[in-house]
Amino acid sequence: ATGINWTVYDRDIRARVPLSINDVLLEELTLIMRTPRWRVDEDVHFMLRGGIPGRAAQLLERICWRPSSSHNNRGNGPNEFKFVDLNGSHCHAFEQNYDAVENKMCGKLRIAVPIEIDSYSFQKAFAYALERFNIKNGGGDCPEPPWEMNLFDD
C-alpha cells in the first residue's frame, strides 16, 4: 500500500489504493478507506474490495474503527454476538460473511465481531487493517485523512 492520496468530497474523505501481488498491479483488488470530513479520529472504514475482471467488484471485508453508531448482527453470526449491539471497533470478516453454498459474499457484510485497536491512533488502526487484510506495506505510514475541525470539536 503505497502512494496513498486522500480525496475530499462533500461529506466524506476517501482513499482508493489498487494493490499488487509480486509487483503485478491488480486493479480488481483495492484497499478503500473512508471517513466523514468532520469526525476527527473516528468513524474510519477500511475496506478490501475484489473481483473478477469484467464483473462488478465486491466488498470482501470491512473494518470499522471507532464507528459513530453501533452495529447489530440481529440473529446472524456467532452466538455470543447475535442480537448484541457492538458499540466499538469491529470487523466484518470475509469468513463470516461468505456463503459457501451460494459461492458468494452475503450482501453488505452484515455479520461483525468486535476487535481491539488502540482507540486513538489512526496509524495503529491502519496497521491493524493492513495486517488483517494481509497487505505488505512498502510505503510506511499512511497520511492521515485531512479532517476538518469545527467550532465544537474538542
The pLDDT profile of the chain, 154 residues, written as one tens digit per residue, is: 557 899 999 999 999 988 887 778 777 889 999 999 999 999 999 999 987 777 778 899 999 999 999 999 999 889 999 999 999 999 999 999 998 888 888 778 999 999 998 778 999 999 999 999 998 876 667 899 999 987 665 5
Cβ-based neighbours of 63, under 8 Å, separated by 6 or more = 45, 46, 47, 89, 90, 91, 92, 115, 125, 128, 129, 132
CA-to-CA distance for 2 and 135, rounded, in angstroms?
11
* pLDDT for res 103: 82
CA-to-CA distance for 123 and 4, rounded, in angstroms?
13
